[in-house]
């Protein structure tokens, strides 16, 4: 295993520990995610190459920002082999964006990006010419080969922490960046030491052109669902988010990045177009439901982040 693969595996384990303690969610999640399908991942050669996909067609963001994926006829959608053969778009995953507190553990700090560092990471992306894209744009690109802006990137935020709204978004606004926010609906409006966005804040993000996605009701591992769990964890949260935003919710992020085939089927039944995991290899049969992301660590300088993006999303692996 390469450094990055070892690190991803390590991060996944950390994430499960951190999430389980932070969200008081499933007691089973921790153990399950530790023995997750850690099938071998392809080695990502760490070389100094540009993080761009220079051979992709570059068009201004404005021309491609209003894709409606429901208008793509089924017959026009590429098959799994074609989708997986396309150059990957780098996708970053953030959790909390706030300054570290003394009590934050060493491991938790991988998921907490201090404000100044987040500012620097966003500036690096802007200075390097990156353009954020929506999941609708990603979907149109993967299924039809639709053009993307030059140096496309997706910024995703999990769980729905309030600091994403109050601190991260204003920094992103300076660069015209849009994000995708995967909300865990049980926590909507929760206050206290670690507060979460309320309905009006989620609606405001959606109205401002950010995308709202689903991250289950209470962060249980989808591999454990049976029977009514699909309704509680996916169907009802989807409905709730659609009521809040007044828009269809078509994208899902797996808690802990963990997925299985039954989950991909249940998501399809409920009109989900794509689902996001973490850095494991995409599934050859279900590339749209195993889209890869890397966690942008609170320890990573802009340069380290850039190197990690280049290494992880290089090529079609
Ligand atoms: Zn989460």
- Domain contains 119: yes
What separation in Å is there between the alpha carbon of 138 and the centre of ligand 1?
A: 21
What separation in Å is there between the alpha carbon of 14 and the centre of ligand 1?
A: 12
Residue 48, token pair as written in the block: 């100094």
What separation in Å is there between the alpha carbon of 74 and the centre of ligand 1?
A: 31
pLDDT of residue 20: 37
pLDDT tens by residue, 137-149: 999 999 999 999 9
- Domain contains 122: yes
What separation in Å is there between the alpha carbon of 263 and the centre of ligand 1?
A: 16
177: domain CATH number is: 3.20.20.370
Task: List Cβ neighbours of 82 (8 Å cut-off, separation of 6 or more).
Answer: none
What separation in Å is there between the alpha carbon of 75 and the centre of ligand 1?
A: 34
Rounded CA-CA distance 230/112 in Å is 30
What separation in Å is there between the alpha carbon of 19 and the centre of ligand 1?
A: 7
pLDDT tens by residue, 290-310: 999 999 999 999 999 999 999
- Domain contains 150: yes
- Domain contains 275: yes
| Vertex 230: Cα angle to 224 and 236 (nearest 5) | 135
Task: List Cβ neighbours of 317 (8 Å cut-off, separation of 6 or more).
Answer: 42, 44, 88, 281
Rounded CA-CA distance 54/34 in Å is 37
Residue 270, token pair as written in the block: 């409920």
Distances (CA, A) of 181 to 38, 104, 233, 276: 26, 23, 17, 12
- Domain contains 42: no
Task: List Cβ neighbours of 44 (8 Å cut-off, separation of 6 or more).
Answer: 2, 4, 5, 311, 312, 314, 317
Under the banding of pLDDT at 50, 70 and 90, the label for residue 29 is very low
What separation in Å is there between the alpha carbon of 183 and the centre of ligand 1?
A: 8
- Domain contains 183: yes
Segment holding 157, helix H or strand E: strand 152-159
What separation in Å is there between the alpha carbon of 88 and the centre of ligand 1?
A: 22
What separation in Å is there between the alpha carbon of 159 and the centre of ligand 1?
A: 5
Q: How many structural domains compose the chain?
A: 1
- Domain contains 52: no
pLDDT of residue 28: 31
For residue 83, the enclosing domain spans 58-64+75-300
Helices (H) and strands (E) in the chain, counts: 13, 10
- Domain contains 165: yes
């Amino acid at each position: 295993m390469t450094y990055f693969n070892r690190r991803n595996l390590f991060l996944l384990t950390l994430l499960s520990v951190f999430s389980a303690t932070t969200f008081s969610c499933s007691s089973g999640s921790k153990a399950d995610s530790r023995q997750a399908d850690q099938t071998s991942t392809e080695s990502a050669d760490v070389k100094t190459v540009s993080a761009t996909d220079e051979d992709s067609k570059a068009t201004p963001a404005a021309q491609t920002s209003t894709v409606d994926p429901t208008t793509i006829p089924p017959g026009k959608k590429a098959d799994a082999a074609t989708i997986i053969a396309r150059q990957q778009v780098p996708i970053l995953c953030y959790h909390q964006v706030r300054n570290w507190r003394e009590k934050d553990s060493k491991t938790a700090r991988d998921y907490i990006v201090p404000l100044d560092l987040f500012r620097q990471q966003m500036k690096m992306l802007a200075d390097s010419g990156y353009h954020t894209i929506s999941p609708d744009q990603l979907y149109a690109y993967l299924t039809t080969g639709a053009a993307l802006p030059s140096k496309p990137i997706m910024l995703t935020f999990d769980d729905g922490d309030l600091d994403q709204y109050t601190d991260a978004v204003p920094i992103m606004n300076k660069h015209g960046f849009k994000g995708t926010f995967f909300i865990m609906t049980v926590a909507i409006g929760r206050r206290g030491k670690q507060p979460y966005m309320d309905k009006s804040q989620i609606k405001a993000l959606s109205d401002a052109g950010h995308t709202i996605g689903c991250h289950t009701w209470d962060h249980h591992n989808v591999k454990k669902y049976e029977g009514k769990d699909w309704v509680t964890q996916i169907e009802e949260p989807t409905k709730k988010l659609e009521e809040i935003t007044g828009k269809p919710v078509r994208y899902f992020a797996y808690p802990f990045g963990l997925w299985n085939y039954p989950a991909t089927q249940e998501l399809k039944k409920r009109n989900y177009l794509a689902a996001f995991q973490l850095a494991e290899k995409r599934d050859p049969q279900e590339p749209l439901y195993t889209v890869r992301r890397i966690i942008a660590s609170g320890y990573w300088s802009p340069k380290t982040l850039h190197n990690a993006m280049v290494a992880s999303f290089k090529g079609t692996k």
